[in-house]
C-alpha cells in the first residue's frame, strides 16, 4: 500500500506540473488501473500526511510544499543531461573565463531550464594573485588590473592625488608582484612595505592598501526572469514578486547552502510518511529543503529553487534556478547538475 501511495503522489505531481490543474481521482485510477474509491482513500492518507491538498471543495488534489519536496527528493540523483545538451554546454563554455564564463553559464541555464537563474560567486580572501598591472588613469587616479588564481580579472580604481610619476608606479607594481600573501592579507603587507619605502612610493602603497577592500565584491549573475511570464503563475503579480525576492535572497543565503543534508529530513527509505503521520495543515507547510551531493531543492507553497554548488579553481560558487513550486523538477535538476559539472571541467580555472 505504501508503494501505491508513493506512486499516487508521483502521478499527482507529474500531472499538476504538466497541466497546472488539480488532479482528479479518476485520472489517477485510470493510470494505476484501480478504482476511483481506492485512489480517494489514498488521497485522504496523503492529505493526512501533509503531502497533498485540495485547493477547492470540489477540486482534485495538488501537492503541498512537503509533497513536492518528497517528489523532488525521489529524483535524486537526477538523470544526466542528454548528450546533445551536455555537448552544447561544454562547447559554449569552452574558452570562456572569469565573469564572461559565469554570465554565459547563467544564460545557458536559463535557456535549458526555462526558468530564472542566479549564479553567485562569493568573495574569497584566500585566493592568490597570478598577475597584476598598475597604470595611471587620470591626474589623481591609478588603475590596478588583477588576475586571480580562479581566472577572474578584477579592476581596482585607486585615488592618489597627485598621481605618482611613472617610475614610482612601476616600483609599486613590482612590490605588488612580489607579494606571496593571499588577497585578504595584501593590505597589511602593503602597509608594512610602505613603512620601509620613500615618501612617493609609500603614499602610493598606502593608497593601494586603503582601496584594496573594493577588489573582490561578490559576483552575482541573473538571467531568465522573463521566462517566468510564460508559466501560468506568471500572470499573478504576487508570484512574480515572490520569485524576484527569491532570486535576490539566494545570493544572501548562498553561503549557507549545504549546511543541512537530506538526513535532516525524511529518511530515503520512507519517501512517503505513513497514513496518519503528523503533518501541517494544507497551505501551512514550512519550506522544505534537501541536498544530494552538490544539489539542493528549496521550496514553499509558491516558489521553488533548484541548484548546485560548484568549484571554480579554489573558489566555490552557487547556482540557483527559480520557478514555480510546480517546477519541472526532473529536467531542472539535470540542468543544475550538468552546468555545475561543465563549470568544473579540468583546466577551467
| Per-residue pLDDT at 175 exceeds 70 | yes
| C-beta of residue 349 within 8 angstroms of C-beta of residue 95 | no
Higher pLDDT among residues 231 and 256, named by residue: 231
pLDDT at 90: 86
Q: Which domains does the chain have, with CATH numbers?
A: 2-63 (1.10.10.10), 73-122+218-343 (3.30.450.40), 129-214 (3.30.390)
| Per-residue pLDDT at 257 exceeds 60 | no
pLDDT at 251: 63
| Per-residue pLDDT at 12 exceeds 80 | yes
| Per-residue pLDDT at 96 exceeds 90 | no
pLDDT tens per residue, range 305-315:
998 999 887 78
**Percentage helix, strand, coil for the chain under 3-state DSSP, each rounded to 5:** 50, 20, 30
Buried b (16+ CB within 10 A) or exposed e, 11-47: bbbbbbbeeeebbbbebbbeeeebeeebbebbbebbb
Report the share of the chain in percent with pLDDT over 90.
64
> For residue 108, what is its C-alpha cell?
545557458
Q: How confident is residue 254, by pLDDT bands cut at 50, 70 and 90?
A: low
| C-beta of residue 129 within 8 angstroms of C-beta of residue 231 | no
Rounded Cα distance between 115 and 109, Å, is 8
Say how many CA atoms lie within 13 Å of 23 toward its Cβ: 28
pLDDT at 194: 95
| C-beta of residue 323 within 8 angstroms of C-beta of residue 344 | no
pLDDT at 288: 45
| Per-residue pLDDT at 283 exceeds 80 | no
| Per-residue pLDDT at 347 exceeds 60 | no
pLDDT at 58: 77
pLDDT at 339: 93
pLDDT at 253: 64
DSSP state of 34: S
* Cell 597627485 belongs to residue: 162
pLDDT at 274: 38
pLDDT at 270: 37
pLDDT tens per residue, range 259-268:
343 333 333 3
Say how many CA atoms lie within 13 Å of 89 toward its Cβ: 27
Instruction: Name the CA dihedral angle for 255, 261, 262, 263, rounded to a multiple of 10 degrees.
Output: -150
Residue 136: enclosing H or E segment and its boundaries?
Answer: strand 129-138
DSSP state of 229: G
> For residue 346, what is its C-alpha cell?
579540468
pLDDT tens per residue, range 194-243:
999 999 999 999 999 999 988 888 889 999 999 999 999 999 999 999 99
Average pLDDT, the chain: 86
pLDDT tens per residue, range 35-90:
999 999 999 999 999 999 999 877 899 999 999 999 999 998 899 999 988 888 88
Rounded Cα distance between 332 and 204, Å, is 50
pLDDT at 264: 36
Rounded Cα distance between 225 and 253, Å, is 19
Q: How confident is residue 348, by pLDDT bands cut at 50, 70 and 90?
A: low
Which of 6, 14, 4 is closest to 328 using CA atoms?
14
**5 backbone dihedrals φ, ψ, rounded to 5°:** -65, -35
| Per-residue pLDDT at 1 exceeds 70 | no
Amino acid at each position: 500500500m505504501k508503494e501505491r501511495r508513493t506512486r499516487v503522489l508521483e502521478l499527482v505531481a507529474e500531472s499538476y506540473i504538466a497541466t497546472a490543474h488539480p488532479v482528479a481521482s479518476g485520472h489517477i485510477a485510470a493510470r494505476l488501473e484501480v478504482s476511483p474509491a481506492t485512489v480517494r482513500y489514498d488521497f485522504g492518507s496523503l492529505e493526512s500526511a501533509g503531502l497533498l491538498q485540495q485547493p477547492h471543495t470540489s477540486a482534485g488534489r495538488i501537492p503541498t510544499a512537503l509533497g513536492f519536496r518528497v517528489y523532488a527528493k525521489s529524483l535524486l540523483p537526477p538523470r544526466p543531461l542528454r548528450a546533445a545538451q551536455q555537448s552544447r554546454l561544454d562547447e559554449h563554455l569552452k574558452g570562456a573565463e572569469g565573469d564572461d564564463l559565469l554570465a554565459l553559464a547563467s544564460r545557458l541555464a536559463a535557456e535549458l531550464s526555462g526558468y530564472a537563474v542566479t549564479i553567485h560567486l562569493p568573495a574569497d580572501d584566500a585566493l592568490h594573485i597570478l598577475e597584476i598591472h598598475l597604470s595611471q588613469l587620470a591626474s589623481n587616479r591609478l588603475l590596478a588590473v588583477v588576475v586571480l588564481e580562479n581566472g577572474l580579472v578584477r579592476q581596482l580604481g585607486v585615488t592618489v592625488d597627485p598621481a605618482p610619476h611613472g617610475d614610482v608606479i612601476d616600483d609599486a607594481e613590482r612590490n605588488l608582484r612580489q607579494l606571496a600573501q593571499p588577497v585578504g592579507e595584501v593590505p597589511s603587507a602593503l602597509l608594512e612595505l610602505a613603512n620601509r619605502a620613500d615618501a612617493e612610493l609609500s603614499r602610493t602603497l598606502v593608497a593601494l592598501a586603503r582601496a584594496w577592500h573594493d577588489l573582490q565584491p561578490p559576483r552575482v549573475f541573473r538571467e531568465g526572469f522573463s521566462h517566468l511570464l510564460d508559466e501560468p503563475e506568471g500572470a499573478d503579480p504576487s508570484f512574480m514578486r515572490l520569485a524576484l525576492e527569491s532570486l535576490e535572497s539566494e545570493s544572501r543565503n548562498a553561503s549557507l547552502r549545504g549546511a543541512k543534508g537530506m538526513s535532516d529530513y525524511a529518511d530515503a527509505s520512507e519517501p512517503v510518511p505513513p497514513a496518519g503521520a503528523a503533518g501541517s495543515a494544507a497551505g501551512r507547510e514550512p519550506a522544505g529543503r534537501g541536498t544530494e551531493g552538490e544539489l539542493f531543492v528549496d521550496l514553499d507553497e509558491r516558489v521553488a529553487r533548484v541548484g548546485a554548488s560548484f568549484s571554480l579553481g579554489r573558489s566555490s560558487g552557487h547556482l540557483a534556478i527559480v520557478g514555480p513550486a510546480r517546477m519541472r523538477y526532473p529536467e531542472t535538476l539535470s540542468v543544475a547538475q550538468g552546468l555545475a559539472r561543465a563549470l568544473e571541467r579540468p583546466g577551467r580555472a
